[in-house]
Structure 1
Amino acid sequence: MRCYEQRNLNAETLNSRDTCSCKERTHIFFLKTHKTASSTVMNMLFRFGDTRNLTFAFPKNGHFSYPSYFNSKFVDGFSKESKQEFHIMCHHMRFQLSEVENVMPNDTFYFTILRNPVTQMESSFSYNKNQEVFQKSESLEDFLNNTSKYYRSNMSSSYYAKNYIAFDLGFDNNGRESEKHYKLLCQTVEIMFDLVLIVEYFDESLILLKNALCWTFDDVLSIPINSRSNSSKHSLSEKAQEKIKNWSQLDWHMYVYFNKSFWDQVEKFGRKRMDRELGELRRKRSEMAQVCIQGESDPNKMTDKSLSPYQSGIARIIGHNLKPGLNDAEKQFCQKLVTPEIQYTNLLKRKNMTSPMLPPSVSPYIGFT
């Protein structure tokens, strides 16, 4: 039973850390699905582990040999004979539970994140326009209107264009299409994962995650990472949106299923309590942004080029400029808050190899009360 289900939901007291008698969870697996705000969640996990001397399960190269199924042999430093303890695994992979269980401890908390397939596919088209499956189409609408012309199930890049999230979860993106099959796969995901976040309710998702892990508000503070500029986003007609739902039916069924499941969990958590905690989270985030962030920036105009995000396809990925005049503690925290995935991964790898860790007793936060 999750910690938030044990507590008195009518309690009026709201502390930074949950008041229930639970212990902070540090064995965590996050399935980082594509184009689902997962880079923002990953940065949060990086910062949590970075300040607590936790060990990450890093890929030996790339993203655990994605799009191949994950295998424990892809983890840097892992062997069946080794007694190495891994606390957090959160890089992109094609999920295979049995192999993840070879690496992660038995008490690991498993969670992932889903997004409406309509906006997820629009994002995927923008990021992956240079891939074979999208290369020859003039627009996403053109692709949707002519799938028989542009799409072949045996294309090595087919997963970018159909049931992308289902593929990340380890399913066949060109598999059977039936209500019974969809329901079975949804129930399979529900069994494997302790919590499924929903992008469209990101803040509510963070509150449920915070309480399930017995974390603090500070632990789930975040700034959007790897976001596109508005100029590279494209509005879709209702007709195009319906075509996506029919085209990526497995992704759509999973989204509907877990959207309902998500709000069932919110009801158990308590709507009034959710509203109170949302207010506290947003207040702290606003204060943090006022301290740290000067504003969003085109990569060419970044004051600190080391924080520039990776660019892909026809998308324009924005970064963040930090405010000048930060003291050392503020600068250290604020930099990590906006450090993109590739740079932060390399930072943590170097730190694990050569640099002394912060003692767990040292607070990484700078007073966002």
Structure 2
Amino acid sequence: MNILFRYGEFHNLTFALPVQSSAFSYPYLFSATKVDGFSENGNKTFNIMCHHMRFMFSEVQKVMPSDTFYFTVLRNPISLMESSFSYYKSMGAFAKATDLENFVNNTSIYYNAKMAGSHAKNFMTFDLGFDHNGPDSIKNAKVIQGTVDAIFDLVLITEYFDESLILLKEALCWSFDDILSFPLNRRSNTTMKTLTFQTQEKIKRWNSLDWQLYVHFNNSFWKRVDEFGRERMQREVRILQRKRTENEKMCLQGEVAPSQLEDKLMMPYQSGIAAILGYNLKPGLTAPYRLLCQRLVTPELQYNRLIHLRQIGNQT
């Protein structure tokens, strides 16, 4: 989101923003009526839509231009569920479980299929707008995969984020500076849990639709890398990583725990039992570099407010 926020801000593009908060009525399916300034008969053009939503293609099409480039990102369901348990420990199906192992060993006790939202089962299938409690048959999984394939121009993979950014840069004709980013919303190592092989296998079975989705698009991702060229990919990843290192040296004192953050206005949203890290900038940065460095470390909620205020200002 930071990459898209920054690109849109620096190129004076118009975002499709939620009417309320920083999400489109999540966990309910996206509706065009939840976009600030949208009108069925209006002629307003939106360039970027990137806020949290439960995807519904027919409604997104009402808002975005016909030549919109659609992309999404998938993550290994094992690490996704370990992370989700940490972030959402205080709510829903996870609330009464002592730990993730306890949850996956007793899903029939803790999980209720009628609960709104799905941080606890087939999270990605849910976010893409499908029934996360649907049959985990190969046939159903193939229908989901085929639909995502037909709608999305590119599916990124979290575990290969730099390679994903290179493919995104290529597809959108962007520069290395456009895809530059620092890791945001990252947890302290103290809240990360190492899972046993048995627990990992149980997570895969519990999230069968997500697992089949991930395997399918991980395979198609590497086919796309092969088309791009493996050696070329390695070369461009090295360039991106070098640029990131240069900017880290220029911008950052370091990544710190919430209590050590010097600018409390840049505090990342804290959730569940996770301690979300932030960054302290180096002092004495000149104005243009300070703006870039500041934007690179601006958390999602704060950046959302900046974008919202900018668009209000452009309308007045």
Question: TM-score, normalised to structure 1's length?
Answer: 0.84
User: What does residue 201 of structure 2 align with?
Assistant: 242
1:73 paired with 2:38, answer no
User: What does residue 239 of structure 2 align with?
Assistant: 280
User: What does residue 151 of structure 1 align with?
Assistant: 111
Picking from 301, 309, 321, the partner of 2:280 is 321
User: What does residue 137 of structure 1 align with?
Assistant: 97
User: What does residue 19 of structure 1 align with?
Assistant: none
Counterpart-to-counterpart distance in 1, 2:95 and 2:59 = 34
Q: Residue type of the partner of 2:81?
A: M
C-alpha displacement at 1:317, in angstroms?
0.3
Look up the SS of the partner of 2:156 in the other structure.
strand
4+ residue runs over 6 A deviation = none
- For 1:271-350, list aligned pairs within 5 A: 271-350=230-309
Q: Residue type of the partner of 1:290?
A: K
Q: Residue type of the partner of 1:133?
A: A
User: What does residue 2 of structure 2 align with?
Assistant: 43
- For 1:355-366, list aligned pairs within 5 A: none
Picking from 57, 62, 65, the partner of 1:97 is 57
C-alpha displacement at 1:355, in angstroms?
6.3
Look up the SS of the partner of 1:196 in the other structure.
strand
- Gapped regions of structure 2 (runs ≥ 5): none
User: What does residue 228 of structure 2 align with?
Assistant: 269
User: What does residue 189 of structure 1 align with?
Assistant: 148
Q: Deviations over 1:174-213 (max 9, x none)?
A: 0112111101111110111000000000000000000000
Counterpart-to-counterpart distance in 2, 1:283 and 1:150 = 46
Look up the SS of the partner of 2:72 in the other structure.
strand
Look up the SS of the partner of 2:70 in the other structure.
strand
C-alpha displacement at 1:152, in angstroms?
1.5
Counterpart-to-counterpart distance in 2, 1:132 and 1:121 = 14
Counterpart-to-counterpart distance in 2, 1:344 and 1:132 = 28
Q: Is the contact between residue 27 and residue 116 of structure 2 (CA under 8 Å) also seen in structure 1?
A: no
C-alpha displacement at 1:156, in angstroms?
2.5
- For 1:203-242, list aligned pairs within 5 A: 203-242=162-201
Q: Deviations over 1:268-326 (max 9, x none)?
A: 00111111111111111110111011101111211111111000111110001111111
User: What does residue 124 of structure 1 align with?
Assistant: 84
1:160 paired with 2:119, answer yes
C-alpha displacement at 1:139, in angstroms?
0.2
C-alpha displacement at 1:136, in angstroms?
0.8
Q: Residue type of the partner of 1:135?
A: A
C-alpha displacement at 1:248, in angstroms?
0.4
User: What does residue 115 of structure 1 align with?
Assistant: 75
Q: Residue type of the partner of 1:333?
A: L
- Tell me: CA distance 1:242–1:76, structure 2 relative to 1, closer, same or farther (3 Å): same
Look up the SS of the partner of 1:177 in the other structure.
coil
Q: Residue type of the partner of 2:197?
A: E
Counterpart-to-counterpart distance in 1, 2:124 and 2:42 = 33
- Gapped regions of structure 1 (runs ≥ 5): 1-41, 357-369
Q: Deviations over 1:110-131 (max 9, x none)?
A: 0000000000000000000011
Q: Residue type of the partner of 1:212?
A: A
Q: Is the contact between residue 266 and residue 299 of structure 2 (CA under 8 Å) also seen in structure 1?
A: yes
- Tell me: CA distance 1:135–1:316, structure 2 relative to 1, closer, same or farther (3 Å): same
1:198 paired with 2:164, answer no
Counterpart-to-counterpart distance in 1, 2:306 and 2:130 = 33
Look up the SS of the partner of 1:113 in the other structure.
strand
How many residues of Structure 1 are paired with residues of Structure 2 in the alignment?
314
Counterpart-to-counterpart distance in 2, 1:355 and 1:193 = 31
Counterpart-to-counterpart distance in 1, 2:181 and 2:82 = 24
Q: Deviations over 1:123-144 (max 9, x none)?
A: 0000000113111110000001
Question: TM-score, normalised to structure 2's length?
Answer: 0.98
Q: Deviations over 1:80-122 (max 9, x none)?
A: 1111110000000000000000000011000000000000000
Higher mean C-alpha deviation, range 178-187 or range 204-213? 178-187
